[in-house]
Amino acid sequence: MSTEASGGAQNGQWEIAGRDGELAEVRRLTADPGGGARALVIEGEAGIGKSALWSAGVTSARDAGWTVLSARGSEAETRLSFAGLADLLEPVADDVLPQLPEPLRAAMEVALIRRSPDRVTIGPREIGAATLAMLRELCASQPVVVAVDDLPWLDRATVDALWFAARRMPDAALRLLFACRTPSAVPGGAADPVLQADPQEAIGHGIPLDAVQTVRLGPLGTAVIESLLVDRLQLRLPARVLDLLVDKTAGNPFWSLEIGAVLARVTAIGDRLPVPRSLSLLVAQRLDRLPSPARQVLHVASALSRPSISVICAALEESLDDVGTAIDLAVDQGVVTTADGLLRPAHPLLGSAALDRMPPVGRAAMHRRLAGIVTDPEEKAAHLLVAASGEPDA
């Protein structure tokens, strides 16, 4: 099954750098088996380090003597019923299935493809009851953690079985540890096919909401990103470039290292960071699906240092019949955000990649038009320079 965009857990400790507080919260989940069933959800955008933190929680639980049932959601397996349940329960099936009553054992054996479905009733209630029986059997001997990375991609049948069981085990030594990717303007943040609502609310269908804790992973600071670049790439950047990198990646460790790897191969670093090919390909897929008016709004917003709505409207009034509707469309598509009268790319990397994909002639024409609109002399000169030289945007 899949991991998140960064290959999270396989890279190990580097992704947990700067996460001491979050790591302590995850470890606290299994510090004491008492207190009844509880859940912890790790949330964040692709590449932010969710899988590494989740893996650290799994390791911590195993070291503390918990039985850990783990799985990783996969987009390719979302429609394969019980694919996740097999990953969770197959490792303990030989020991636990013989302890189950025959009807429940038969149903679970069918779900795990250990038995032909002939003459066996298998539905949500039967599989839910069998899952409940297996978890109760395991919890009777030692505390249990059900750990799922990329929970939104878990198949619906498995999710239903887990919720059925968790609802009926409020006092058990049971912990649920989940990692969920939040929506992101940068590709890699896929839509949730299973958890359409807030993951915490959805998990609350299994156990009480007051027993569900959320750990949200935000941006890493400049010092942490600098340390990662040195440790992983032996790359030391000038302060100006480092600040630009952290700003453009919004403190995302994966994309910081991806861009850092490109910077390590160049002899001179200008005022604009390269966009890694891996990101360019992902962004291309997203931009190609955007309606043209929304794409034009994103281009102009990405080219301006201070993208005021008034300037964007002036820049697009000749090419679009209704700029206001185009702006609303771009916001609805999640590629730009509005705040304080400014319209910025939803993620700095999205803006950079969008500009890189523009045809040179079209980009030069856009900058010439912007040079005739903006009032700041330095910004006007910058647009004229880009338009004349064909160099990437400042």
pLDDT confidence of residue 3: 26
User: Is residue 205 over pLDDT 80?
Assistant: no
Task: Give the three-state DSSP class for 213.
Answer: strand
Each domain of the chain, given as residue ranges in start order, spans 8-216, 219-274, 278-394
Q: What is the mean pLDDT of residues 194-222?
A: 70
Tell me the per-residue pLDDT of 78-126, one tens digit each, with 9 for 90 and over. 888 999 999 999 999 999 999 999 999 999 999 999 999 888 778 899 9
pLDDT band at 185 (very low <50, low <70, confident <90, very high): low
pLDDT confidence of residue 356: 83
pLDDT band at 211 (very low <50, low <70, confident <90, very high): confident
CA angle centred on 154, ends 149 and 156, rounded to 5°: 155
- Two tokens, residue 16: 């947990």
- Single out the residue of 190, 102, 98 nearest to residue 152, CA to CA: 190
User: Is residue 322 over pLDDT 60?
Assistant: yes
Looking at the chain, the number of H-run helices and the number of E-run strands are 18, 7
Cβ(101)–Cβ(126) below 8 Å: no
- Two tokens, residue 245: 């990198």
Q: What is the mean pLDDT of residues 199-209?
A: 57
pLDDT confidence of residue 14: 46
Select the more confidently predicted residue: 307 or 14. 307
d(CA 244, CA 329): 29
Structural element, H or E, at residue 106: helix 102-111
pLDDT band at 270 (very low <50, low <70, confident <90, very high): low
- Single out the residue of 386, 218, 206 nearest to residue 304, CA to CA: 386
pLDDT confidence of residue 386: 86
Residues paired with residue 102 on neighbouring β-strands, in sequence order: none
Tell me the per-residue pLDDT of 362-382, one tens digit each, with 9 for 90 and over. 999 999 999 999 998 888 898
User: Is residue 316 over pLDDT 80?
Assistant: yes
Would the pTM of this model clear 0.85, i.e. be above it?
A: no
CATH number for region 8-216:
3.40.50.300
pLDDT band at 197 (very low <50, low <70, confident <90, very high): very low
pLDDT confidence of residue 177: 96
Q: What is the mean pLDDT of residues 135-154?
A: 95
pLDDT confidence of residue 9: 32
Q: What is the mean pLDDT of residues 133-153?
A: 95
Residues paired with residue 6 on neighbouring β-strands, in sequence order: none
